[in-house]
Structure 1
Amino acid sequence: MSSSVLRVFIAGHRGMVGSALKRQLEIHDNVSIITATRAELDLANQQAVNEFFATHRIDQVYLAAAKVGGIHANNTYPADFIYQNLMIEANIIQAANQNNVQKLLFLGSSCIYPKFADQPMSEDALLAGTLEPTNEPYAVAKIAGIKLCESYNRQYGRDYRSVMPTNLYGPEDNFHPDNSHVIPALMRRFHEAKVSNASEVVIWGSGKPLREFLHVDDMAAASIYVMNLDQALYQKQTTPMLSHINVGSGVDCSIKELAETIAKVIGYQGSLVFDTTKPDGSPRKLMSSSKIRSLGWQPNYNLERGLAHTYDWFNANVLTLRMA
């Protein structure tokens, strides 16, 4: 980063990724962070977003704001997921361009890739097959965000980049019993089993599916790294029509191994029971992170250390978490 102060807008600063970005950017003396709560700025309101950009003289944007949820939420509210995400990203990217913001980083999702993409999933798998039906509206919106960035780069000469994270976990995650993802769901379940001295914990499925996980602090570090890469280096790994880069740990594990590691971290001594009447989902989901590795970035946390860090945060914040 240059010595002059950069005015950096983090859209979605209260979310898991946005808050991690804020923590890491705050340590830089030459960065002035700009944020707005949902009550202060409705990102789906085009006029409000335009006025916000015109007022704040922004230099860089991290577009981490999104409507997110699990399978149940995606299935129940598909219109909300596609509409709100399309509006948020379109309004921000258009306002950035109108207000001469040259650098923007869009955060996507691994669900952009086809349901039956080859493993590990590489960037060129995008639009090469049919999406997973349960979250297709959300995935289409995220694909549109990538294509918005590419289109503004081609037409206006902007430097708008996109990163696609694998499954994330860490501080500020959602530990809701119904709407959370696998790591926070299991962490809460094992924690409560330990507190109540339960003899067993039941886990959906066979435990055989393989999944990849990345600590959110690693995702934030990768995002800042990609944002500030020399443009020529970035363009060596991308093309005008395929400009996104995957960010993952490069390692997957079975759900059984994940559950055993969480139990170990928490100190739960009971039995793990796998309910094979419940669905497993895809047998494997792993992203290729060779491009970002070739650019010089690698993660800091392995899974056990990352889970321990997350459980420390969980214990420190258990009374205020989204737990019900």
Structure 2
Amino acid sequence: MRVLLTGGNGMLARSIADAWRDQGRQDELIPVTRADADLLDLVAVHEMMHSIKPDLVIHAAARVGGIAANVADPTGFLMDNLRLDSNVLSSAMESSVGKFIYFGSSCMYPKDYRQPLVETDVLAAPLEPTNEGYALSKIAAARYCNYVARQFGLDYRVLIPSNLYGPNDDYSLDRGHLVAAAIAKAHAAKTQSASSIDVWGDGLARREFTYVGDLAHWLVEHLDSISEWPSVMNVGKGEDHSVRDYYEAALATVGYDCELVTDPTKPAGMHQKLMDSSLAMDFGWRANTSLVDGMRQSYAGYLDSLER
């Protein structure tokens, strides 16, 4: 089996490639990056797909960012992801790719809806405005995968991870998600002997973060059962923590202590979006890495990135 993996330089794709090697899979994994093909270029994507002729596509590429990035450019997050996903999915169909794994996002779920969120809650109520553009693009692509599976009987499946973190994360403050940003800020505070760290919102919003290695290893181990998966599955840690908790964990990880100064005037997104991942647990899903261990490995990865 030939497997095409998009987003080859991203945190998730790199973790999947690592898990592939660790587990000694004999299938051919072909990670592709922007240097191989710009996924916003339909002709380039068609040529890549026809050249590789994959049996399975794992689509881990997306334009992603934190709250600040999404608020600043909702049009870009909507249209870039729509174009990117449309190019990859349409090219896969034209190349007769029979198996496809699409990664959705917990942003697809309604704002301040019931907890924990189940897969059928998508489109049940209005979305969180701060990342609505990104969420709409992910919902559209996920629905397309559902339609393909129903209409043509192909194994097009959607996995909805919680927020992910781990080595090779994006630690830039304008694009990074909560855990990566907290680690970067805590490290900067330590090196500068700062007395405080700024935190957007009141610090009480709760988020579910899953260590990326747990998802990657589960996916590689259970890839051969894709035909048995339901059309959509949540894959999350199953527990959440407040924004303040994550910042405190980041400070403990880097070995520093200072004041956390919250700013309630800044957007914090949904108050809570904990997911129910019991469907995936029927297929062996477990997120075993603790926040302490995951933070430690993430910080080690961050320090490595500073030396490169």
TM-score by length of 2: 0.92
Alignment counterpart, residue 24 of structure 1, candidates 15, 19, 23: 19
Displacement of 1:29 in angstroms is: 4.2
| Equivalent in the alignment of 1:127 | 123
Indicate the percent of aligned positions where both proteins have the same amino acid: 37
Aligned residue in 1 for 2:84: 88
Are 1:175 and 1:185, in contact at CA under 8 Å, matched by a contact in 2? yes
Letter in 1 for 2:74: P
Counterpart in 1 of 2:173?
177
Give the partner amino acid of 1:36: V
How far is 1:303 from its partner? Answer: 0.7
Deviation of 1:226 after TM superposition, in Å, equals 5.3
1:12 aligns with 2:25: no
Question: Residue 209 of structure 1 corresponds to which residue in structure 2?
Answer: 205
Measured against aligned partners, the alpha-carbon deviations of 1:195-244 in whole angstroms (never above 9, x if no partner) come to: 22223333333322221111111222243355322523x2xxx3xxxx21
> Quick one: distance in 2 between partners of 1:82 and 1:277?
25
- Residue of 300, 304, 310 corresponding to 2:292: 304
CA-to-aligned-CA distance 1:275-317 (integer Å, 9 cap, x gap): 4554544322211111111222101211111001101111122
After alignment, is 165-174 or 269-278 more displaced? 269-278
Alignment partners' CA distance in 2, 1:138 and 1:277: 23
Say whether the 8 Å CA contact 2:70–2:130 is kept in structure 1.
yes
How many aligned residue pairs are there?
Answer: 307
Provide the C-alpha distance between the structure 1 equivalents of 2:118 and 2:143, rounded to a whole number of angstroms. 17
| Whole-angstrom distance in 1 between the partners of 2:29 and 2:56 | 10
Which residue among 136, 141, 161 is the counterpart of 1:165? 161
Normalised by the length of structure 1, the TM-score is 0.88
Query: Which residue identity does 1:108 align to in structure 2?
Result: G
- d(CA) in 1 for partners of 2:265, 2:44: 49
The structure 2 residue matched to 1:224, chosen from 220, 225, 246, is 220
- Could you tell me how far apart the structure 2 residues matched to 1:292 and 1:211 are? 19
Match of 2:49 in 1: 53
User: Aligned partners of 2:70 and 2:198: how far apart in 1?
Assistant: 24
Amino acid at match of 1:13: G
Q: Given that residues 109 and 164 in structure 1 are in contact (C-alpha distance below 8 angstroms), is that contact kept between their aligned partners in structure 2?
A: yes
Structure-to-structure mapping, 1:144-159, within 5 angstroms:
144-159=140-155
Q: After TM superposition, give the deviation of residue 179 of structure 1 in Å.
A: 2.5
269-278 or 164-173, larger mean C-alpha shift:
269-278
Give the Cα–Cα distance (whole angstroms) in 2 for the partners of residues 179 and 26 of structure 1: 29
Q: Counterpart in 2 of 1:261? A: 249
- Conserved 8 A contact 1:261-1:304: yes
Change (3 A) 1:134 1:271: closer
Q: Return the alpha-carbon distance in structure 2 between the equivalents of residues 73 and 82 of structure 1.
A: 12
Name stretches of at least 5 consecutive residues in structure 2 with no aligned partner. none
Query: What's the C-alpha RMSD, in Å, of the aligned pairs?
Result: 1.9
Query: What is the alpha-carbon distance in structure 2 between the residues aligned to residue 250 and residue 111 of structure 1?
Result: 16
For 2:17, the aligned partner's letter is: K
Q: Read off the aligned partner of 1:135 and give its amino acid letter.
A: N
The residue identity in structure 2 corresponding to 1:84 is: D
- 1-side partners of 2:148 and 2:199: how far apart? 45
Say if 1:31 and 1:208 are closer, same or farther in 2 by CA, change over 3 A. same
Q: Distance in 2 between matches of 1:292 and 1:267?
A: 36
CA contact (8 A) 1:225 1:297 kept: no
Aligned residue for 2:307, secondary structure, equals: coil
Closer, same or farther in 2 for the Cα pair 1:45/1:134, shift >3 Å?
same
- The equivalent of 2:64 in structure 1 is 68
Work out whether 1:246 is the aligned partner of 2:234. Answer: yes
Q: How far apart are 1:134 and its partner, in Å?
A: 2.2
Counterpart for residue 190 of structure 1 = 186
